[in-house]
Amino acid sequence: MSFSERKIIFFKSYFQDFYIEQDGEARKKIAYTLNLIQKSERVSEKFLKHLTGTAGIYEIRVSSSSNIYRILCCFDEGNLVVLFNGFVKKTQKTPTREIAKAEKLKKEYFDEKGKCKK
């Protein structure tokens, strides 16, 4: 079975709003990481990691200069990556409010998707 490139979509404008706020170097690194996730069959945990204790929430990991950026997302239909919120990480642990926000957005995404299919 051959690898099928992943498709990345944004749910609502949370990710785009976050992305636009970043400086040029950070945007380049974020775009590079998203491209890597899109085109690589196996993605290292250095760039994409499942968050333990969550129902299918993943963390896209980007470092630029001295900042650490995180984008929370989920998978849908195998190769579809749905981006939710992004933030600059200031502590060792991923903030619970960001995880809660991603879980809420994931539920909204699947609820809206379900309504579209009916």
> CATH assignment of 7-117, given 3.30.2310.20, 3.40.50.620, 3.40.50.10070, 1.10.10.10?
3.30.2310.20
CA pair distance 97, 64, nearest whole angstrom: 23
CA distances in angstroms from 68 to 3, 53, 62, 78, 81, listed in the order given: 29, 21, 6, 27, 21
DSSP output for 72-112: EEEEETTTEEEEEEEEEE-SSSPPHHHHHHHHHHHHHHHHH
Q: In the chain, where are the structural domains located?
A: 7-117
Mean pLDDT, to the nearest integer, of 83-87? Answer: 96
Q: 84 or 3: which carries more pLDDT confidence?
A: 84
Measured over the CA atoms of residue 88, residue 90, residue 93 and residue 97, the dihedral's sign is negative
Token representation of residue 50: 């499942």
Q: Give the pLDDT score at 90.
A: 87
For residue 95, the number of C-alpha atoms closer than 13 Å in the C-beta half-sphere is: 14
Q: What is the pLDDT of residues 12-53, one digit of tens each?
A: 999 999 999 999 999 999 999 999 999 999 999 999 999 988
